[in-house]
Amino acid sequence: MLDDTIAAIATPLGEGGLAVIRLSGAEALAVADRSFAPAGEGSVKPSAAATHTIHFGHVVRDGQTVDEALLAVMRAPRTFTREDVVEITCHGGILAAKMVLDTVLANGARLAEPGEFTRRAFLNGRIDLAQAEAVADLIHSRTELALRAANEQLAGKLSQRINKLRDEMLETLAHVEAHIDFPEEDIAPDTLSQLIARLEHGVAFMDELLRTAHEGQILRRGIRAAIIGRPNAGKSSLLNQLLGHDRAIVSAIPGTTRDTIAETANIRGLPVVFIDTAGLREAGDEVELEGVRRSRETLQQAEFILHVFDAAEPLTPGDEQHLAEFADKKRILVRNKIDLPARLQFPSGLEAPLVDVCCLTGQGIEPLKDAIKELVWSGEIKAGMLQVMINSRHQDALNRARAATLLTLEALRENKTLELVALDLRIAVNAVGEIVGQTTTDDLLDLIFSQFCIGK
């Protein structure tokens, strides 16, 4: 497939000022010659153009002008894919971009698969697998912190540490295999101590990386928070305050929210998906019954809850039931309407943060954001942490590498046969190599790159 020349629209579909159609492959310039008519004095066809230059002209098909465009020529290896790359910038809009794409496809290119440009960059050695994943993270970033973490990984900060770990494990494996080849020579005690110390250092480093998995997943996919409470407690008003704009309908009529509403907000740099739910009470009709059912379902999926109460109303038996029911869930108790005379008193012994707010004026919203950040992310968010935040695939590989390394250490300490030591250590080395793509399979690559958009 690397022999094919691929093409795709690299910008989002829809109305806009510009659209970009990207080509990559050995025949990219030849396809451009057949698709593009340069204009202006001294103009040259794409295949004769110097690298990293831009040319004005028209995309032409069957003698008819498709669109006025700019064409960028980028010759291998100084390109994203390390292949010849052509990018055609035409007018935005679904039809214009599609007609330009159809033109290059008719002239010899093949429609790219999801993530195929990035996959070629990996296969051609421009980036490793961890950096390729960072491209997708960069595109999907929803906060500045997530963007910075993706940029650090794209720059190779995680890859450098993983490669160092793998090199140290390979060096240990080489020592072990050398003694397998020469069985008459036992491993000297000093050498054995050094090998064990190196592996112990590797396990400690894996533990350090594994501790970043939870925070890394929060930055990449966000964390889900369900906003629950009695009807008319102010759940929808709280959602609007946290988002900074009116998203949910607010009404004095209880039961206004009949369905769940999910929106993402940037809370102290963390992407938090807030879900406004129907009020928890006995449903009055089938629609409200379905809303309450969906609220219950959302509660099961949420990582934590914001339990909203009306400060001007005393606790009801239903409130006390829900306080007990969700005691095992991460939660923040939100006492709303503090501008009104207080009638709400909580029972003693509640182990949950309590924040007073007034959703009418916005009072208390900033302290609530601080409480949310402290609940989901303990400690300061440091720049060094952003460099090594692993994803779930990295976490799985490191867990397998760690388990195999611990078996290796056990075998070395107990002087077991070196063939068993080498077997476990080879498993660990291969698992670490999966992170950066040193050891991988086509199925794994298909899984990773299928999650990319077409054109990236």
What ranges do the domains of the chain cover?
6-112, 131-212+388-449, 222-376
How far apart are the C-alpha atoms of 6 and 116, rounded to whole Å? 8
What architecture does CATH give domain 6-112? 2-Layer Sandwich (3.30)
Across residues 10-37, what is the average pLDDT? 93
- Token pair for residue 157? 């900060």
User: Does residue 378 carry a pLDDT above 80?
Assistant: no
Cross-strand bridge partners of residue 279:
none
Query: Residue 228: which pLDDT band, with cuts at 50, 70 and 90?
Result: confident
The string of pLDDT tens digits covering residues 82-110 is 999 999 999 988 899 999 999 999 999 99
Query: Residue 384: which pLDDT band, with cuts at 50, 70 and 90?
Result: low
In this prediction, residue 249 carries a pLDDT of 47
User: Does residue 254 carry a pLDDT above 50?
Assistant: no
The yes-or-no answer to whether 6-112 and 222-376 have a common fold is: no
Query: Residue 189: which pLDDT band, with cuts at 50, 70 and 90?
Result: low
Query: Residue 392: which pLDDT band, with cuts at 50, 70 and 90?
Result: confident
Grouping H, G, I as helix, E, B as strand and the rest as coil, residue 150 is helix
Across residues 389-405, what is the average pLDDT? 92
Largest CA distance in the chain: 87
Angle at 174 between CA 168 and CA 179, to 5 degrees: 135
- Token pair for residue 405? 């390394």
Across residues 113-135, what is the average pLDDT? 92
φ/ψ of 121, rounded to 5, equals -60, -40
340-355 core/surface letters (b: 16 or more CB in 10 A; e: else): eeeebeeeeeeebbeb
In this prediction, residue 190 carries a pLDDT of 67
What architecture does CATH give domain 131-212+388-449? Up-down Bundle (1.20)
Query: Residue 408: which pLDDT band, with cuts at 50, 70 and 90?
Result: very high
Percent of the chain past pLDDT 70, that is, above it, reads 88
Across residues 304-326, what is the average pLDDT? 87
Across residues 147-174, what is the average pLDDT? 90
User: Does residue 383 carry a pLDDT above 60?
Assistant: no
User: Does residue 251 carry a pLDDT above 50?
Assistant: no
User: Does residue 80 carry a pLDDT above 60?
Assistant: yes
φ/ψ of 284, rounded to 5, equals -95, -20
As a whole number of Å, the end-to-end CA separation of the chain is 16
- pTM (two decimals): 0.76
- Token pair for residue 454? 């077409």
- At the top level of CATH, which class does the domain 222-376 belong to? alpha beta
Top-ranked range on mean pLDDT: pick from 186-195, 316-325, 335-344: 335-344
Grouping H, G, I as helix, E, B as strand and the rest as coil, residue 8 is strand
- For residue 46, the 8-state DSSP code is G
In this prediction, residue 60 carries a pLDDT of 95
Across residues 212-226, what is the average pLDDT? 83
- With tokens 């009116």, the residue in question is 246
User: What is the chain's mean pLDDT, rounded?
Assistant: 86
Dihedral sign of CA atoms 44, 47, 48, 53 in order: positive
